[in-house]
Amino acid sequence: MNNAKSDIEPLIMVRQLTSEYGDQVILDKVSFDVHKGEILVILGGSGCGKTTLLRHMVGLNKTHKGSIHIEGHDICNGDDSIYQAALKKIGILFQNGALLGSMTVSENVALPIIENARLSKQALKRLVRMKLTMVGLGEYGHYLPSELSGGMRKRAALARALALNPEILFLDEPSAGLDPITSAEIDDLILMINRNIGTTMVIVTHELASIFALAKRVIMLDKSVKGIIADGEPHHLKQHSDNPLVRQFFNRESRNQAI
């Protein structure tokens, strides 16, 4: 299926991934690819395992049932050095931001940069300020995360995820809980970064507006099959999907049967 699409190897290759918490199976034999430079949106109802899938893709949840290759290296079954090397290529925006509460916003953003780039103090300050300007928080560097609003915390966390200009950025609900304007601004920022820096994005989101603005391709998960029920272009799926659940999602209709 992926051979037809392009001759180059996909950036991320998920094969037969099975995920379980205890004996509760969340995902059952899920396979898909993420190609270089694309924005892939993962969507689905609450509790269908989107965050779980994302955690597997960044290696926080581990399993040997199935494989995940990033640039051809298997992070599920390979040894730790492979995983460490893969970590250098990815940035993650957690669902709750996960900023370190005892550090200011600037220090949070500076943290990965200090670890990985040899910059002078002054250059570091400039870079951090620049990253914060990108997400619209230029003036808030000296604030503690607890002194920010929820949306600002999200944006600060996005700045930290972008700190090293990772090749792949995983975003877990980047615009959940934000007002439509801020949310649209974050979408613009994501598109901008994708277009200019070439970052591959894997985004979990529910926001229909964001999905249509961002995604060339979406993957929809569902509890009933514990896996993917649709894979394709959102406008196309909205009109022509043969699965009523998918059409309902895109058209914002309620479903009448129980979950």
Partner 1 sequence: MATAASVPVCTITIEQPDEASTRLSLSGRLESGNAARVIEDVLSRLATHPPLRLDVNLERIHYFDDYGSLVLQEIRHFVESRKAAFQLINVPEHVESILSLVDFHHQDYLPTNSKKKPISIFVRMGEAVIIQLDTFKYMTSFLGSVSICLVHGVLHPRSIRWGDTIVYMQKTGVDAVPIVALISFLLGLIMAFVSSMQLEQFGAGIYVASLVALSMVSEFGPIITAIIVAGRSGSAYAAEIGTMQISEEIDALFTMGFQPTLFLAIPRLIAAVIVVPVLTLFSDVFAILGGLVVSSTMLDLTVGTYITQTLEALTLFELMWGLMKSAVFAVLIALVGCLRGFQVRGGASEVGNAATSAVVSSIFLIILFDSIFAVIRSYW
Ligand X SMILES: Nc1ncnc2c1ncn2[C@@H]1O[C@H](COP(=O)(O)OP(=O)(O)O)[C@@H](O)[C@H]1O
Beta strands of 107-209 (E only): which ranges? 168-172, 200-204
Largest CA distance in the chain: 60
The answer to whether the CB of 49 falls within 8 A of the CB of 26 is: yes
Contact region with ligand X (CB under 6 A), list: 44-52, 100-108, 132-140, 179-187: 44-52
Residue numbers of the site for partner 1 (CB under 8 A)? 8, 36, 71, 100-103, 117-120, 122-123, 125-127, 129-131, 133-134, 138, 142, 144-146, 164-165, 167, 189, 192, 196-198
Looking at residues 6 to 65 of the shown chain, list those that interact with Mg ion (rule: CB under 5 A).
Answer: 51
CB of 223 to ligand X, least distance (A): 8
CB of 257 to partner 1, least distance (A): 34
CA distance 46 to 58: 20
Residue 105 buriedness (CB in 10 A; 0-12 / 13-18 / 19+):
buried
- Which residue, 51 or 175, is less far from Mg ion as judged by CB? 51
Q: Residue 142's binding partner, choosing from Mg ion, partner 1, ligand X, none, with beta-carbon cut-off 5 to 8 A by kind?
A: partner 1
Long-range contacts of 4-7 (CB under 8 A, 24+ apart): 5/33, 5/35, 6/35
- Which residue, 21 or 180, is less far from ligand X as judged by CB? 21
Q: CB 133: neighbour CB atoms within 10 A?
A: 13
CA dihedral 125, 131, 134, 140 (to 10 degrees): -60
Q: Residue 66's binding partner, choosing from Mg ion, partner 1, ligand X, none, with beta-carbon cut-off 5 to 8 A by kind?
A: none
- Which residue, 43 or 110, is less far from partner 1 as judged by CB? 110
What residue ranges bind Mg ion (CB under 5 A)? 51
What residue ranges bind ligand X (CB under 6 A)? 21, 26, 46-52
